[in-house]
A and B are shown apart, each in its own frame.
Chain A
């Protein structure tokens, strides 16, 4: 146990954590292949650059960022899979990369594209092995398995070889394997990647219900904002290895988006001309239109529209989180200087 575990309510403490990789760079073509035989050009990749954050017990936090931002690397550090280049971290008071069995019994890592189940065997066999590895009592194991298979609606599938399950069914089995030992911390890396909408919703619904019931600490990475909106109240945004935002999910839109959407429905059944002067038209269907307008101009624009057009219905809404985050990641980072809290 680490003395840096400063409060019994704090589950994860990360201080100036950094991870640097050396990667080989090769010129394309035969010439590059030949030269690389004699001289390997290497480059240093700073996957995580001194990130710091804290997560309290029972929090469900989204860890967002584009591909290569450092999310998965941070999760791997917290799972003890890799050693950091510098900085410290404790999870439940343990230093993850010391890989103590006592720590491994108290957390789980689920990676959407990696299997921990035995591919050629029914999931039930993997679960039975987990029972032994995590030293679960038979009655406790049966109760947990029963509860989890019921919640995830896979009870009938546990005797089917994993290779014969659909991606969505397999992911649900992976979640069961990860939760059988009742971990206090769950690290989820893209748990709904590649799943169809129905499976995504099942996984989301399950995670929400499970976290409500158990109050476990969850750190979730996902490219699906629907996952994030459905599950998390706090988000940490990371890009190029650095934290750009850490706070309530609701604040992201306020802080990162300067626009709001005005939704109008015209009374005469057609969208009026000349709306471009108010903002960018993002959608036009029948008599309805959506216009993105700078949030500071909303009252002024609304008054002007209501005065000029016959409008049957009007509404003002925030831009979808997905659009806001996508825009944030595609806008040059200098434009966001000072965004991180």
Chain B
């Protein structure tokens, strides 16, 4: 990638950040409201452990109540990287109403726009959410195991990057489906449902019985929440972690290629609806 391309991407990022900051009040409120589900989840796990464990300190499938609280918080961290609110719907809307034309007539790649726009979205989110995140993690610090070693920490950072890339490419791919089916909201709904279960958002994936856990663990969804959380909870050996990250990189490449292929096919089919 040459310096000119990097400079353009930097400007797309800068402009996107400025755009994200245009509606400050709504954005700040939406960021804070996203913390509410984690509070209910902590209470829910307390109730479950109270009912099924010998006590709230008992264990379910190798997870104590404290492990579950830590897992839930780390899943929230992973999802802060992998969730892409509005991405699929936004791409579909641009295709449907013809707004996509501006990306197709300027000397710039559509994916550069989409990608850096999303990075801006995340950067602003992290800036606003870092304080509340830090506070919640500090309040729950007693539930976390000791700090992982340096290699595991690096692995966790890489896994968060993979969560972002995989989340981005899956949702962008669904948006590109709008070249064939203009309305994709049902697809998004099905995806959210599957994602909630298959990413480990609802339950840790190592709770699932054989043979389901075998094939679910080969899918890309686990990188959206489970893998970063499991790495930070020291549930992988170094070798297993590196293997997981390697498979994650393969998924990023596959999804990237799939996006490019779908875009090329979609543009062939595109009829520039909406005037």
Contacts and interface: CB of A to CB of B under 8 A. Distances in A.
Which of B12, B18, B102: most chain A CB closer than 10 A? B102
Contacts of B268: 83
Interface string A106-150: 011101011110101100011011101111000000000000000
Contacts of A49: none
A260 B106 CA distance: 47
Given A104-B106, A109-B101, A133-B106, A118 B19 contact: yes
Interface residues of A, number: 34
A180 B199 CA distance: 46
A104 B22 contact: no
B18 A125 contact: yes
A121 B272 contact: no
A99 B4 contact: no
A104 B106 CA distance: 6
Interface stretch (A74-82, A268-276, A304-312): A74-82
Given A120-B19, A129-B11, A129-B12, A113 B275 contact: yes
A236 to B, nearest CB: 20
Contact of B11 (A99, A101, A128, A161): A128
B107 A121 contact: no
Contacts of A21: 271
Interface string A58-99: 000000000000001000100111110000000000000001
A120 B23 contact: yes
Contacts of B18: 121, 125
Nearest to A83: B268
Which of B104, B105, B267, B272: most chain A CB closer than 10 A? B105
Contact of B275 (A80, A114, A121): A114
A79 B4 CA distance: 24
B56 interface: no
B22 A121 contact: yes
Contacts of B126: none
A102 to B, nearest CB: 8
A54 interface: no
Contact of A132 (B7, B22, B105, B274): B7
Give the top 4 A-B pairs by smallest Cβ distance, nearest first.
A101-B107, A120-B22, A116-B102, A104-B107
Interface of A: 21, 72, 76, 79-83, 99, 101-102, 104-105, 107-109, 111, 113-116, 118, 120-121, 125-126, 128-130, 132-135, 161
5 contacts: A104-B105, A114-B275, A120-B23, A129-B12, A133-B106
